[in-house]
Amino acid sequence: MRAALCEAEQAAAMGEVPIGAVAVVGDAIIARAHNVREATHNPLGHAEILLIEQVSRTRQAWRLDDVTVVVTCEPCLMCVGAMLQARIPRVIYGCADPKAGACGSLYTAHNDPRLNHRIDAVSGVSADECGALLSVFFRARRG
């Protein structure tokens, strides 16, 4: 989670919502990303989406069934959908997102029995630190 928090801090320094993510295989980080929606003017600029694209491009494969995504905030519905499509088996996240979280807060898309794939979700890792980063960012933005 420390590496994902470093990515989130980079996003914050760029004026982006401070969310960072890393892809892990075994004990190694194989990719890193952070939000870039503002810089790219692209609603798909979420850390998790960029991470999945990066790993898929590097591996030249869409099935990422040995990759764990570690992200500072609970993934949204779009990001969980992308992880399901990529067959990512596990996501570890910091703070919950009661307004858009899709791993238990608002939706349970990661574990929907109607889908042919499920994602094991682990929540609350460094939650206070991840949540504080977001709180400070939005407090400053509001004024």
| Catalytic residue ranges | 48
Q: Are 7 and 35 in contact (CB under 8 A)?
A: no
The CA-based angle 56-58-63, given to 5 degrees, is: 30
Q: Are 90 and 119 in contact (CB under 8 A)?
A: yes
Of 125, 116, 60, whose CA–CA distance to 92 is shortest? 125
* 132 strand-pairing partners: none
CA-to-CA distance for 28 and 121, rounded, in angstroms? 19
Could you tell me the two tokens for 136?
């400070």
Q: Are 95 and 133 in contact (CB under 8 A)?
A: no
